[in-house]
Structure formats: C-alpha cells, structure tokens
Amino acid sequence: MDRELQKSENGFGGIVGQDVPVQVLNHLLELGKLPGTLLFSGPGGVGKYAAAISLAKILHCSGEQKSACGCHSCNAIRVGTHPDVIVLSREKSISVDEMRELVTIAALRSSRNHERTIIIDNAENITVPAANAALKALEEPGDHVRFILVTDTPEALLPTVRSRSYRLRFSLVDYARMVEFARAIGDDPDESDAKGAIRFARGRPGTYLRFMHSENYRQAVNEVREWITGTVKSGGKPRIKDAIEWKGKFWAMAEKLTDAEQSMSIPRGGDTFDLKRSLESGGKFILAPSNWKTEHGSGSEKRWTQGRRAILLTRLLRRILYMELDERSVNAIGLLYDFMEKLRFNCSFDIALERLYYGLSGFKG
C-alpha cells in the first residue's frame, strides 16, 4: 500500500460520527479525484471545520502517521503557520476586498511547488459582492489550489457559489458516538456533568465542548434555561408592562451569552486527538489554525451585531426547549422559528420581540 493511500485511510481517524462524508473524502483521495472546490455543510458544532483542517493536513502531510501526525507540516497547519494553507474564519461579514485578495493569492503558485489549500469557515458570511468576485476562482481554481467552504447555512450562500462546489453534508452525531467523543477527549461519559453536557449538546460535539469545559458558558446557558422555561410555562394574561421588561431581559441574556461565547478559550479545528492534547495541557498544546488576518479587535470592534446576538440566543432557546418536548415547548419552538424568519427579512426587532413575547407568555398552564 503506498503512502498516498495510507493518508486517505487514516487521516480522518479523529473525526467522530461523520462516517459518510469521511468515506466519500477517502474515496475521492484514493481515486485522485478530489474536486477543486468543496462545500462542507451541516449543523453547527458537528465537526465540519475539524474535517476541513484534517483534509488540509492529509494534502500537505510530510510524515508517515496520518492520525494525530506530528510532522512539521501538520503541526504548522495546527498552529496556523503553514505558508500554503490559508484559513479564514469570521464571525462577521467577509468583504469583497478580502475575497479579492484571496483570489489573487489563489492564482499564485506555491514557491515550494505544492498546491495551496484555502479554507473559509463561516462561509455564509461572504457578502454578495465578495461571492461574485470569487466565482471564477471557485469554478476553475486550477490544479495548484483547492477551496474548502464551511457553513452551517448553505442556503445563505449564492446559488452560483453552491453550484460551483462539491457538497458534502455533515450530520448530527448519535448518542453512542457522542459518548465515544467524550471518552476520546479524556472525559468520563458516565459522570453526571458529562451526561448532562451530552444531552444538552444534542449531537454536536462542539456544543458539548463549550458546555462541559467553559464555566462561563455553562452559567449563561443555565440562566437562559431558567428564564425561557419560566416564560413558556407562566400562563396568565400578558401585559404591555411585562412585554417591555421581557424585551429588556432578552437583550440582557443575548449580551450575557455573547460575552460567554467570546470569552471562551475552547479550541476549534482540532480532531479528537488534538482536542485531548489541548485540554490535558491546559491550552499549552496550541490549536489555532485560523491565520488570515486574525481578528484582534477590542471594545466596539469585538461587539457582534444586534441581529447576530439575537440569532445566537434564539438558537440556544430552541435547543433548551427541545430537551423537554411538551405541547407548550413545541409551540414555543415554532414561534422562535417565526422570529428568526422575521429577522432574516429585516423586520423591526422591537415588533418581532413583542410578537414573540405575547406568543410565548400566552400559553395556559
């Protein structure tokens, strides 16, 4: 068996619960027919970004071990210093200037005669002008460069971008594999906190990591859980005074959750081997593959938009309500979906929140 085949068979050993996309990638690698532009889509926190980083390691690996490989190339990708692997991860819009610069880089051949790999995380944040600026490069990247787009919401990408990409769908991880993931990173899945984190994560290893290993995030989630449960089960007749207070509480909760997300030091982009090493080392084993003009803002530069914070909180509210699916929770989840749709179509935050409150608090016990 040659070394290239060993790469394809062993390189994704640390990606848990994504057998189908991993098998497809292995098959394409074995045949030597990996497309020039790949689109990794699926729910957040299931391992898409980690799989993209693992694929980059396979394509650029200079060692013999392809799972938790310790070669110079794989280590450089892990810490974000590999010259031929560009990783862009943004929590806000990806501008046309950034995309044009990436396209210019993609057109250049590596000085080491290797192909380049360009990973765009949160690809749904690519603006329409930026997407249009990159269409030609995505359609015909050439044999010297490969694009990997990673997104939770592929429908937010332009149809022309989706049509130029080979799409692989990642799915939620079943309970047994979540237990396997917890054990693989060094946690005890039989311990009560881990069991609670697995239940809360609902098939998302990334969410499990945040809830299990970030006290600030866990405290914020528990406070949000108490608040939304009280709202949904309150019954009674909603009043305007209560609506005003509830809307203020909504934004306070959104701010708390945003702060918890931004203050977390939970690593991203690592497979289970890298995650275990990072957690065991207390963060000394670096996992920081993002290397494209890393955002180091402060103050207002770090603040997410009002809509971003509202969506972040609404997704958490849905996840909490899914944990206890009685009739009121089902109805509340429907109202949260409606709220998110209103935000997508630029409905007034104030009006949308009022409608959400009256709907939630109007349920009778």
List, for residues 29-44, the tens digit of each pLDDT value.
999 999 999 999 999 8
255 pLDDT above the threshold of 60: yes
70 pLDDT above the threshold of 60: yes
- Mean of the pLDDT values across residues 318-337? 84
* pLDDT of amino acid 15: 94
The structure's pTM equals 0.85
The mean pLDDT value of the chain amounts to 86
Q: Are 115 and 84 in contact (CB under 8 A)?
A: yes
| Strands across the sheet containing 145-151 | 85-89, 116-121, 145-151, 37-41, 166-169
Tell me the per-residue pLDDT of 334-349, one tens digit each, with 9 for 90 and over: 999 899 888 877 678 8
- From 12-16, 64-68, 141-145, the region with the lowest mean pLDDT: 64-68
* pLDDT of amino acid 115: 85
Out of 3.40.50.300, 3.40.50.720, 3.40.50.620, 3.40.50.2300, the CATH code matching 3-169 is 3.40.50.300
- From 53-67, 109-123, 180-194, 327-341, the region with the lowest mean pLDDT: 53-67
**Confidence at 300, pLDDT banded by 50, 70, 90:** very low
72 pLDDT above the threshold of 80: yes
* pLDDT of amino acid 4: 40
User: Residue 96: which of 129, 125, 136, 118 has the closest Cα?
Assistant: 129
- Mean of the pLDDT values across residues 213-235? 88
Residue 303: count of CB within 10 angstroms of its CB: 14
Which amino acid belongs to residue 69?
C
Tell me the per-residue pLDDT of 108-153, one tens digit each, with 9 for 90 and over: 887 676 789 999 999 998 989 999 999 999 988 888 899 999 999 8
246 pLDDT above the threshold of 50: yes
Q: Annotate the chain with three-state secondary structure.
A: CCHHHHHHHHCCCCCCCCHHHHHHHHHHHHHCCCCCEEEEECCCCCCHHHHHHHHHHHHHCCCCCCCCCCCHHHHHHHHCCCCCEEEEECCCCECHHHHHHHHHHHHCCCCCCCCEEEEEECHHHECHHHHHHHHHHHHCCCCCEEEEEEECCHHHCCHHHHHCCEEEECCCCCHHHHHHHHHHCCCCCCCHHHHHHHHHHCCCHHHHHHHHHCHHHHHHHHHHHHHHHHHHCCCCCCCHHHHHHHHHHHHHHHHHHHHHHHHCCCCCCCCHHHHHHHHHCCCCCCCCCCCCCCCCCCHHHHCCCHHHHHHHHHHHHHHHHHCCCCHHHHHHHHHHHHHHHHHHCCCCHHHHHHHHHHHHHCCCC
Tokens 């799972």 -> residue: 67
* Residues 6 or more apart whose Cβ sits within 8 Å of residue 49: 40, 89, 119, 121, 150, 268, 269
Indicate the domain borders of the chain.
Answer: 3-169, 216-264+302-365
